[in-house]
Amino acid sequence: MSAHIIGTGAFVPEQVVTNIDLQRLVDTNDEWIVSRTGIRERRIAEPGQSCSMLGVEAAKRALEDAKVAATDVTHVLVATFSPDAYIPSTAYILREKLGIPRGMAMDVSAACTGFLFALETARAFVALHPEAVVLVVGSEVVSSRLNWEDRGTCVLFGDGAGAVVVTGKPSHGSAEVMDVLLDGDGSLSDLLVVRGGGSATPMKLGQAVAEDFFVQMQGREIFKHAVRSMAAICQRILEKNGLTSSDIDLVVPHQANIRIIESLAGRLDLPMDKVFVNIEKYGNTSAASIPLALAEAREKALIPPGSKVMLTAFGGGLNWAAALLQY
């Protein structure tokens, strides 16, 4: 049973935080951030604007695009590392807010690669249950887990959400999910962590949060692994499907750093005009990055019928993934 993306949607909070704004918080400057990352501004949620709140808005747009009523959704997956709470899952909160009356809901934890892990899970649901209507959301309020005194991380990330609807039946303008490959290496997990508050590093009542409550990262190491592993998994998925990069009309990569994206394009021998980039506006929105970019690429009519689109992501775990879509 093939799986099809029949709708996409995205939502970002209103508040724009520019690099100039960040100069007031940490010892940084616009030139450094733009030249090292490609990021000019990012959206940051208002206090109280949670992961489910962003996700609901993206999901409504995806459902509208798919012409599917919320009451027809059978499965909800939310990829995030910044959930509303430990319990309940953000997927159940989002389900309630959307008025989805039945079916399962769960969060998927794979950091920036989470959306592709959730997409593959959706494909499995559709294979098992041909009538499934799976809502797949990537939503992040990364700002809630950023140390705003650490210039090595706080300038890189932003908040946002993207969503897709996956079913067994194609419709006008839909994309068949041809293949998804997921991979990772736990021995590299120390390179990107959010440890504090987990059961291995529990918090005590009244205790103030420490630096380990926030994203901690070895940027340079991450950079190298990101380029290598995304290029390798893209090559693998192309070969597995009897394709080469010249068959791909558009790559929608995880938006972590423009230099990572450019190196990836170089390794795949793809010109940058075949690579979708919106990092300058949003920064790294983690699990939201790919569905947000995919929705924007469709809105800009960059994906006409017949297009082959490759998605690829990389994130804390470490893990990485690629997917092929046939529009």
Catalytic residue positions?
112, 254, 284
CA distances 120 to 7, 63, 104, 277, 324, Å, are 16, 19, 16, 23, 11
CA dihedral 116, 281, 195, 184 (to 10 degrees): 30
What CA dihedral angle connects 85, 59, 251 and 186, to 10 degrees? 20
Contact between 222 and ligand COA (CB under 6 A)?
A: yes
Q: Is 34 in the site for ligand COA (CB under 6 A)?
A: no
Residue 220 binds ligand COA, judged by CB under 6 A: yes
Nearest-CB residue to ligand COA? Answer: 219
Residue with Cβ nearer ligand COA (79 or 256):
256
Q: Tokens for 64, please give them.
A: 């509208």
First to last CA, the chain: 17
Stretch that binds ligand COA, among 85-93, 169-177, 220-228, 239-247 (CB under 6 A): 220-228
Reported residue count of the chain is 327
Residues 6+ apart with CB under 8 A from 149: 25, 26
Residue 73 CB, nearest distance to ligand COA (Å)? Answer: 29
Residues 6+ apart with CB under 8 A from 130: 1, 168
Interface positions, 245-304, toward ligand COA (CB under 6 A) = 256-257, 284
Residues 6+ apart with CB under 8 A from 163: 8, 9, 10, 55, 58, 59, 61, 62, 135, 136, 137, 138, 139, 291, 295
DSSP state of 111: G
For residues 25 and 69, which CB has a smaller minimum distance to ligand COA in the complex?
25
Kindly tell me which residue out of 7, 12, 37, 177 binds ligand COA, with binding defined by CB under 6 A.
37
* C-alpha span between 146 and 136 (Å, rounded): 25
For ligand COA, the closer of residues 172 and 220 by Cβ is: 220
Site for ligand COA contains 197 (CB under 6 A): no
Please report how close the Cβ of residue 290 comes to ligand COA at its closest, in angstroms. Answer: 11
As measured in angstroms, the least distance from the Cβ of 101 to ligand COA is 36
Answer for which of 56, 58, 76, 112 binds ligand COA (CB under 6 A) is: 112
Q: Rounded to whole angstroms, how far apart are CA atoms 64 and 71?
A: 12
Identity of the residue, 155 or 163, whose beta carbon is nearer to ligand COA in the bound complex: 155
**Out of 16, 32, 103, 195, the residue judged to bind ligand COA by CB under 6 A:** 32
Binding site for ligand COA (CB under 6 A): 28, 32-33, 36-37, 112, 151-152, 155, 217, 219-220, 222-223, 226, 256-257, 284, 314-315
